[in-house]
Structure 1
Amino acid sequence: MMLKEEIQKKIDFKTKPQGALGILEELALQICLVQDTLSPVLNKPEILVFAADHGAASAGISAYPAAVTAQMVLNFLSGGAAINVFCKQHGISLRVVDAGVNYDFPESDRLIDAKVAKGTQNYLVAEAISAAELSQCFNRAEHIVDAVYQGGCNIIGFGEMGIGNTSSASLLMSYLCELPLEECVGRGTGLNDEQLAHKMTLLKSAQEHHGEPSGLMQALQFYGGFEIAQICAAMLKAYENNMLIMVDGFIASVAFLCAHRLNPKVIDNAIFCHESNEKGHQLLLKHLDVKPILGLGMRLGEGTGCALAYPLIHSAVLFMNEMASFDSAGVSNKTA
């Protein structure tokens, strides 16, 4: 019997009607296949929040000033953000990666310095990321994930912080999914109608300025996001290490889309934690043909969807390992 059939048989013969645990059964099957076992384990869950500034933020593509990126990183480091609360609640290790924030942070056990530059260039007038900077993004992210893996972690989540990063994500999604920009752009941090129209005008001008990218790597150079590029590379390295990958909301999902373009097999290890309230995210999940665990109407980022979904992922593992079978419990199975 093939492993997949053995796993499905174990799931089906638990003391419940077949399929009665819904998405938890699908998660259990996926995790067992990734780990090549009938008895999966989750070790040392960790969420990394990648933070960076965007040169285009100064043009008014966000409802918040660019300084909020650094301010929120300091909030993460002091333990005051939503992601801190949820990680503490569920026993998840949390660290922040400075991929390119325009600020010099004090040393902290919670901070990983992977700063490429103090923010990207303004993609309205220039390439956001140079080829050399993009190479640095990949190298630094790969080393970070390797270190997490060497520490015993086998399930990792990715969050982000960067004022203006929904715009970068929308531009990348439009290119990769071959969708009109209008279908990819949302309100981000809470733009009103007038601000949203301004954002759309600016992003269309960026597309016209750069023209059609020659491939994914050039698209990352055009539209940037040090944090998006580093998450992309980190996801690929997590897959190489056969870790389970928790994917958060819109920006993290676009980073996953980039990783998927480079290695489609990464989807085998990916768990899509929630469907955000950002319009582009809903279309992106459909494009990837994946089913998110949660739908709470959130649009916060930070990895909060990963932290909230983790207990359900853990539940899938626990029922697989600890729930009785019909035989072991002496319970009669259905007769037909």
Structure 2
Amino acid sequence: MNPIKNIGLGKINEIKDILKKHNCSNINNYCVVVFAGDNGISYEHTSSYTPFSSHEIVLKHLNKKSPTSFFLNRINKREYIVDIGLSTTVNNNEIIYKNIKKGTKNFLYEDALTKEEVIQAIKIGEKVWDTIYGTNFDIIGVGEIGVGDTICASAVVSSFLKVSPQKVVGRGSSDNKVLDKKNDIIKKALKIRTPNSNNIVDILARFGGLELASLVGFISKAAEKQTFIMLDGFVTTVAALLAVEVDNRCLKYLIASNLTEEIGHQIILKKLNIKPLIDLDLNYGEGLGSSIALFLAEMVTGINEFKL
């Protein structure tokens, strides 16, 4: 490539370097897999969404009325939605039904899940790989839909990394007014639930959610099959952190799509030594960041075909 033209590509060069570091040079065939469930902690009203209303978000995706589904439809790429724990069943042939239970319990008052349910969710995440014929793709984007899953993920990270909630808790889909409330909830739950910080199954049982646990399984299976995973935002990156804990080989196949405003997201990316491809100040979830980054990565790797 002509060095002058190379300079002219600006930050595209940075994206190319990140992909090159991962030896990810062929991005043509890809999809996005989104795991959906409900979380009992949503009844503490720390989200802008109504508790146990994740099925409404799923319906928007199915009707191509969400940013993620709209974008993927425009670029002719498929979105798979997995019902791992929705409280309300969505009857649609496009849904992959793997529902374990109709939402988790409120971890402020009781464990979100049983350990058996966590293990089941992880195994289902692995099986979803086979359901979508994962080996047919060069890279797969992941996402999640779950009202309250941000605070679940924050509690998991706080326990796993043994840090105070203030160091990992962010706004999620709420405003700044609920930050103190989130911190108080997690602080109280950590004392009541007494999770074993060295056991990810125990941590996930205490706080949930099913989306998070199934993502751990899916990411682990992708690494086993040597397929790259494009992470979305905070929740999927928490799942990646846990997957790496289970099998360090997962790290080689993880690519971060974007940098969100969640404090915990930045901490985990630094710990995993992963640099995000883009920074759009997204705080959205639902596979939007991974979808955008996949398309951008396809364009960037395609530039290599031209002699500029």
Same fold (TM over 0.5): yes
Whether 2:130 is the aligned partner of 1:146: answer yes
The corresponding residue for 2:158 is 174
Question: Are residues 1:161 and 2:152 paired?
Answer: no
Shift of residue 265, structure 1, vs aligned partner: 1.8
Aligned residue in 2 for 1:24: 15
Cα distance, 1:108 vs. partner? 1.9
Could you list the per-position Cα deviations for residues 77-129 of structure 1 after superposition, in whole angstroms to 9, with x for gaps in the alignment? 111101011112333210211110100211322x1111110011121122211
User: Is the CA contact 1:129–1:224 (under 8 Å) kept in the aligned structure 2?
Assistant: yes
The match for 1:260 is 244
Does the 8 A contact of 1:30 with 1:268 survive in 2?
Answer: no
Using the TM superposition, give the Cα deviation of residue 138 of structure 1 relative to its aligned residue in structure 2, in angstroms: 1.6
Match of 1:96 among 71, 78, 81: 81
Counterpart contact for 1:48–1:95, Cα < 8 Å: yes
Cα distance in 1 for partners of 2:108, 2:282 equals: 29
Q: Is the 8 A contact 2:141 2:232 kept in 1?
A: yes
Q: CA deviation at 1:31?
A: 4.8
Q: Could you report, residue by residue, the CA deviation over 1:300-319 in whole angstroms, capped at 9, with x for unpaired residues? A: 10111111111221134223
For 1:136, the equivalent position in structure 2 comes to 120
Match of 1:222 in 2: 206
Do residues 244 (structure 1) and 231 (structure 2) align?
Answer: no
Match of 2:54 among 62, 69, 73: 69
Structure 2 residue 76 is the aligned partner of structure 1 residue 85: no
Do 1:149 and 1:241's aligned partners in 2 also have CA atoms closer than 8 Å?
no
Structure 1 CA distance, aligned partners of 2:126 and 2:4? 43
Conserved? CA contact 1:24–1:315, under 8 Å: no
The one-letter amino acid of 2:306's match is M
Gaps (5+ residues) in structure 2? none
Corresponding residue for residue 97 of structure 2? 113
Distance 1:92 1:31, change over 3 A: farther
In the alignment, which residue of structure 2 is the partner of 1:8? none
User: Secondary structure of the equivalent of 2:226?
Assistant: coil
Q: Is the counterpart of residue 274 in structure 1 residue 265 in structure 2? A: no
Give the secondary-structure state (helix, strand or coil) at the position aligned to 2:133.
helix
Counterpart residue number, 2:106: 122
Query: After alignment, is 242-251 or 20-29 more displaced?
Result: 20-29
1:46 and 2:37 are equivalent in the alignment: no
Runs of 4+ in 1 over 6 A off after TM superposition: none
- Relative distance call for 1:192 and 1:317 in structure 2 (3 A) is closer
Separation (CA, whole Å) in 1 of partners of 2:144 and 2:286: 5
Q: Considering only CA atoms, is the larger Rg found in Structure 1 or Structure 2?
A: 1
Counterpart amino acid of 1:97?
V
Tell me what 1:289 maps to.
Answer: 273
One-letter amino acid of the counterpart of residue 92, structure 1: K
Q: Which amino acid aligns with 2:184?
A: T
Structure 1 unaligned residues grouped into runs of 5+: 1-13, 35-39, 326-336
Shift of 1:290: 1.5
Alpha-carbon contact 2:36-2:54 (below 8 Å) kept = yes
Change (3 A) 1:224 1:284: same
- The amino acid that maps onto 1:139 is K
Is 2:2 aligned against 1:15?
yes
| C-alpha distance 190-59 of structure 1, shift in aligned 2 (>3 A) | closer
Contact 2:42 2:52 in 1 (8 A): no
Alignment pair present for 1:197 and 2:180:
yes
> In the TM superposition, what is the alpha-carbon distance from 1:145 to its structure 2 partner?
1.0
In the TM superposition, what whole-angstrom CA distance separates every residue of 1:268-316 from its partner, at most 9, and x where no partner exists? 1111000012222122222222210111111010111111111221134
Deviations 1:216-256 (A, max 9, x none): 11111111100000111101111111111000111111111
Distance 1:17 1:240, change over 3 A: farther
Quote the offset at 1:199 in angstroms: 2.2
